[in-house]
Each structure stands twice: as structure tokens, then as C-alpha cells.
Structure 1
Amino acid sequence: MPALLCFVLGYLASGVLSEIEPPGCGINDVGFDYTTLPKTARKRIVGGQIATPHSFPWMAALENLGVMHCAGSLLKGNSDRWYILTSAHCLHGTMASDWKIRLGAHDLSQSETSSEFLDAKTAMTHPLFNPTTYEYDIGLIELSSAPLVSKPEINFGCVSGNVSTAGEVCYVAGWGTTSFGGAVSDELRVVEKPVLSRTECRNIYGSNQYHEASMICAGHPDGGKGSCTRDSGGPLMCFQNDRMEIIGIVSWGPGCAQPNSPAVYASSSGGRQWIEATINE
């Protein structure tokens, strides 16, 4: 049996893994109340609204060879090891040395005292990631040093093990372009996205494109709002258990916020076992 298959079967079968929702995850220290975010889907521009600075303190801007390329979320591992959760397609074909991770940022055009740059120690993708179909589009970057989580602008996120509920309004944040082919946003933006059922997503994309074991969909039927270029790897988050929990990772979609074309996210519940096994090994 190939070594990769042995590894995959091993962690899927074990069922005994460490906690990936440590105390204090998914909250902020700047006094922002997540319950004030929109609870219903409103039709607005792709860029959504500017987020309250540092209200999502696990957000990471990922620079590849000096260029803002993707986003990610800070996770806490074992033994003072720290990771960035992002999409596998962001990391595919790159080396860890290509990456710089910016934490504690809000406005990327500014030299903010709240932010810090960290190097990547290693970069890895889910063992079942398929760069053609984007199945299991989940990646992890291990940081070379510990972030300054003592700062109120930096905190770690929670990865949810729950299956998303159709119709639930969740949120995606990023510094990506505010229109297809447009300019990136200097300031972090956030938009609300209703989660679609598996049946709805399958009916739109078909079983050859939508793989429900590792994907979820969220978006507005009329379009006009959603993630776009360079938002890849950022979190899709829902307010659950009095905190923000990551249920998905920005993965793919036709264009940006097109009608009847919801964005597709890598499912955190589908990849949780690998994430948990990796950061807690």
C-alpha cells in the first residue's frame, strides 16, 4: 500500500485527535460585537464593507515573493507551534521560502505598529488535494517563530467541526479585488454570504465540479457580493458558540459574485482531521 494512502487511512481511522478550538480562539480584543454584523443577505458591491480594524485578528495577508497573493487564518498548534490555514492552490508549486506572512494588519498600504511579518518554516497541502478539481483545497504554513498574540490586534482562529446549515448567513473577509479585474483593497473588507445546501450547489455546478465531501457553497442568488481575486485562502466564518468559527476556506468560483454562481469553499469539517493531526503532531 502506498505510504500516502497509509497515512490518509491512518488519520481517518484513528478518530482520536487533539482539540483544535483552544480557549480564546475566534474572539477579538478591540471591543467589536460580532452580533452587529448583518444577519440577512443584502445586495451590495463585491467589496462589501470595510471591516472594523482588527475585528478579525486571526486574518493573515500572505505575500509571495513580495506580492500580496492570498489570505489565511492564524491557528495555534502544540508546543508553541503556529500555523496559517489557507488554500492548497495558493501554495501549490511554491516553496516555503517564497512566503512572508503579515499578521495584525488592517490597511496594507500603511506601516502599522500593530502588524508584524513572519517567515514560513514549512508549507504543506492536504494529501488529497487535487489541483485540477480543487478537491480538499486546504493548506497549512508553519510559522518560523511565534506571533505576538499578546497584542490585541493578533489572535488565533477556531476551525469548526460542524457541518454548515443551509441558509445560515456567514462572513468572508479579505483584501482581494473589489471587482473582477479590479484593484485590490488596502483595507480589510468583510461581506455576508448565505450558505447553500449541498443539493443547491450540486444543481448549479454538477457532480463533476462540486464535490460535497470537501466543498461548500455560499453566495447570493443575484450575485453582486462575494470573494474575488487574491481573497483565496481566507476564511468563511459563522458566528457560533459566542465566537467566530471558520467553516470554509476561499477556494474557487466563476468570476466574482456572478448571478447564480456562488463561491465554492473548501470545507473545514471535511479537512478538519488532517488540520488537527498536522498542527498537533
Structure 2
Amino acid sequence: MYAPLEFEDAHYSQIEYQRKQQQYWDSIRLAIFTLAIVAIIGIAIGIVAHFVVEDDKSFYFLASYKVTNIKYRENYGIRTSREFAERSHQIERMMSRIFRRDFPGSSRFIKSHVIKISPDEHGVNILVVLMFRYPSTSSTAQIKKIIENTFYQSLKIKQLPLTISKPSFTLTSIDSKKMRNLLNSRCGIRMTPSNMPLPASSSTQRIVQGRQTAMEGEWPWQASLQLIGAGHQCGASLISNTWLLTAAHCFRRNKNSHQWIITFGTTIIPPAVKRNVGKIIIHEKYDNKTNEHDIALVQMTSRVEFSNVVQRVCLPDSSIKLRPKTSVFVTGFGSIVDDGPIQNNLRQARVETISTDVCNRKDVYDGMITSGMLCAGFMEGKVDACKGDSGGPLVYDNRDIWYLVGIVSWGQSCALPKKPGVYTRVTQYRAWIASKTGI
């Protein structure tokens, strides 16, 4: 049995003193803590108030001007041509130089997109969309004045690659709907739900052993090709408001267009948009034994309206050649392991192009790769398209404009070492596509 502890008076007094001293310092600490909490709350309220008052908003302008030191070329009128792409990039780079350097609040400038290059007696006319972010309290007239002043000042003091006629410059404020409609005239552009451009760097994940697509609008040309009553069978890529490209082998068992439907969106169920199929065109020389000419066109019974969720991809110029180890992306609803189930959510993979010489090595595909095929993946495997991704897009980014360079065709199993994915090489079929669709 434990007896109660006994203390001498002196010892007890010392303990009582220390307790009072401790209470004193506890009061001080409590006061300091309370003041700190009040200060933090005050700062937080200030930050919230700042963002409520100064919440950024997108502003869009349509700029038009004449360039006098270049001559018009016929291919400037073809938005998917190499000439249009290269000239547009030069113009967009120049606009970035004008508005990102020495511009009041230079971080306010987001991006520019060339909409049209048209002929002029003394050169070419340029039509370009400009995108800015400013506090929502800012007036459009005030922003327009800043943009105009900056533009005119740049013409005076900067050595620009293109000679711009100052009197020809006009600037018009447009709303997001008008901006979207203008961009819809261009292919291969991805937009976020907030109508802001989505940079190429946002897409890094894979299909096999990967994750779901991050947001709507990342791959707006991706479609799901489905048999009524049987569900998803293949992927497809939107190339106009009525036509899609896919693989011929998707129709081996059923070529009846009335039994197929097309859906768009990042999920199969529910779809964002749904359309019936009106026509299926399979390449006349398709060989299901060698997988040669594995390409087909699908026409919908009614057109789709372009939006952030549904957009067409660019078809590449037939002269485009991708070097080995070029980064490309493949997307689809296919399985993430060999013989696994179809995925309801769209997935994406970054892979690299592999030369035909390497792919035709005896230890890889032993001479089976023809000029109409393109290999992409990694020689060590691990990342690849898989069952259910057939017919889907392999796309290449050229200055934030996306081009369809391949169609998922065949491969040995999924993501095996020395067995990369094999794709139909789209550049080889540009004439065939044009002959059937006029695109």
C-alpha cells in the first residue's frame, strides 16, 4: 500500500511559485496565439477579398493587319499545309514577342492563334485571335487601349521579322463564343472548359498501367465506335464535322453501317455526344493477313458542332516525316492489361516513334512493317496501346497544333519488350482520304 507523498514547506512554496509563473507565461502565450490567429484570419480575409474583387477574367480580341514583306502562297489558304503552319507559327511568335516583353502586366497575355492568311495587292492580310487575362473589374475599352498602344509602340522600337502596315491594324473585342467559332475553323486545337488553350505539356500519362484522362477537352477528336447492343469496339478520330478515320479491321465481322454508332467525350457512359453512322468506307486493298492498308472512313448521318469537348484533329501534310524517338500520344478506351476489360474512361499514353529499320529487325517484327505502317512505343515495352484501342489516334504536337500521324492497327500482345505498337501511317493515305472525302 502506497502512503501519500509529503513535502517540506520550502519545497512546496517553490512548486507553488513555479506554478504561478507557469500560469503567467501560459497567459502570455495564449494572448500571442490569439493575436496570431486573428492576424492569419485577417490576411486570409484580405486575400479572399482581393480575389473576389480582382478575380481574373478572359478577354478576347480579333486583330487584323497587313504584312508587306511577304508574298501570298496558294497553300496559305490550306490550314493543314506546312506553309500555313510555319507562317502561322512565325506570326504567333512575333505576337508573343510584342505582348510579352515590355508590356504593362506582361503576364496578362496568354496566347494568339492565326485564323486566316489571305492575299493582298501589297502582301498578305493576317487575321489573328489574341487572348488575355485581366481582373474582371477591368473595362474592355481600357484593355483595348493598352493593347493598341503596346502594338504601335512595338512597331516603332522593335526589330520585327514581318513588316506591318500601321494604318491597316484593327482590333475588335469578341466574346468567348465568337472566339470558339473562329478557332473551330482551325483543326488540332485543344481547349480547357474555361476556353483557354491547353498546352502540349499537360499530357504525359499512358494507357497500359496508366491513369484516366485529366479533363474534358484534352483529346476532343477521340471517338468511341460502338456496335448497337455490343458496346465499344474501336476508337476513331474526328477529321471534319461529319467524317472520322479508323482502322479497317474494326469492320471484319460487321460492315452494316446501321448497326454502328459513334460517341464522343472522356467516358463511354455517359457520352457527351452521340451520332449514328451513315457510311463506312474500307480501303479497297486492305489485307487482314498482312494488316496492310488498315484504314477506313466513317461518315456520320448528321454533323457534330465543334466545342471544347468535340473538335477535329489535323491531317498531316503527306510530306511530313517524323524522326525516330519523336514524342507522340496514343489515346483510347482499351484494356490496360493484355486481354483485360474495356475502360469506361479515356486513357492516354506518351510513346516514341521507332524507325522502320529497327522495327523490321529479326528480333522485333522480322520484316512485316511496310511503308504504310509506323511503329511507336518503347523497345523495353511497358507503355503501349492495347485491345480496344484499335482505330484510335496516334497524334503529334507541332507548336500546340495536333496532327493525326497514326491509327492503332496491330501488335504482338500489349507492351511487351521488342514488340511496340504498329500504326497505319496516315501520311501515306492523304490522297486516298482526299479522294473519298474531299478533305
The alignment's TM-score, normalised by the length of structure 2, stands at 0.54
1:159 to 303, 315, 323: 315
Instruction: Determine if the alignment matches structure 1 residue 197 to structure 2 residue 358.
Output: no
Task: Report the Cα distance in structure 2 between the residues aligned to 1:168 and 1:256, rounded to whole angstroms.
Answer: 20
Task: Report the Cα distance in structure 2 between the residues aligned to 1:35 and 1:228, rounded to whole angstroms.
Answer: 23
2:223 to 40, 60, 69: 60
Task: Report the Cα distance in structure 1 between the residues aligned to 2:207 and 2:298, rounded to whole angstroms.
Answer: 31
1:186 corresponds in structure 2 to: 344
1:101 to 259, 262, 270: 262
- Segment of structure 1 superposing worse, 176-185 or 227-236: 176-185
Task: Report the Cα distance in structure 2 between the residues aligned to 1:107 and 1:121, rounded to whole angstroms.
Answer: 23
SS at match of 2:360: helix
The aligned amino acid for 2:232 is M
Instruction: Determine if the alignment matches structure 1 residue 46 to structure 2 residue 208.
Output: yes
Q: Deviations over 1:205-246 (max 9, x none)?
A: 122x211x2101011111111100110000111111431111
Task: Report the Cα distance in structure 1 between the residues aligned to 2:435 and 2:201, rounded to whole angstroms.
Answer: 32
Task: Report the Cα distance in structure 2 between the residues aligned to 1:47 and 1:144, rounded to whole angstroms.
Answer: 36
SS at match of 2:397: strand
Instruction: Determine if the alignment matches structure 1 residue 21 to structure 2 residue 80.
Output: yes
1:95-244 maps to which residues of 2 (within 5 A)?
Answer: 95-103=256-264, 105-109=265-269, 111-112=270-271, 115-149=272-306, 151-161=307-317, 162-203=320-361, 204-207=364-367, 209-211=368-370, 213-244=371-402
Structure with the larger helix share:
2
- Segment of structure 1 superposing worse, 88-97 or 189-198: 88-97
The Cα of 1:20 is off from its aligned counterpart by: 7.9
SS at match of 1:195: strand
Task: Report the Cα distance in structure 1 between the residues aligned to 2:384 and 2:187, rounded to whole angstroms.
Answer: 25
Instruction: Determine if the alignment matches structure 1 residue 36 to structure 2 residue 228.
Output: no
- From the CA coordinates, give the structure whose radius of gyration is larger: 2
**Does the CA-based 8 Å contact 1:47-1:191 persist in structure 2?**
no
Structure 2 unpaired stretches of 5+: 1-76, 82-184
SS at match of 1:183: coil
The Cα of 1:164 is off from its aligned counterpart by: 2.1
SS at match of 1:171: strand
Q: Deviations over 1:82-128 (max 9, x none)?
A: 1111001112342111210002x11223x35xx12111111011222
The aligned amino acid for 1:74 is L
Structure 1 unpaired stretches of 5+: 1-17
Task: Report the Cα distance in structure 1 between the residues aligned to 2:349 and 2:410, rounded to whole angstroms.
Answer: 16
The Cα of 1:47 is off from its aligned counterpart by: 4.1
The aligned amino acid for 1:196 is I
Task: Report the Cα distance in structure 2 between the residues aligned to 1:86 and 1:230, rounded to whole angstroms.
Answer: 12
**Does the CA-based 8 Å contact 1:46-1:179 persist in structure 2?**
yes
Task: Report the Cα distance in structure 1 between the residues aligned to 2:360 and 2:299, rounded to whole angstroms.
Answer: 34
**Does the CA-based 8 Å contact 2:207-2:348 persist in structure 1?**
no
**Does the CA-based 8 Å contact 1:237-1:248 persist in structure 2?**
yes
1:11 corresponds in structure 2 to: none
Task: Report the Cα distance in structure 2 between the residues aligned to 1:122 and 1:202, rounded to whole angstroms.
Answer: 35
Aligned Cα RMSD in Å?
Answer: 2.1
Equivalences, count: 250
Change (3 A) 1:255 1:273: same
Task: Report the Cα distance in structure 2 between the residues aligned to 1:139 and 1:45, rounded to whole angstroms.
Answer: 23
Task: Report the Cα distance in structure 1 between the residues aligned to 2:348 and 2:400, rounded to whole angstroms.
Answer: 19
SS at match of 1:205: coil
The aligned amino acid for 2:226 is E
**Does the CA-based 8 Å contact 2:199-2:400 persist in structure 1?**
no
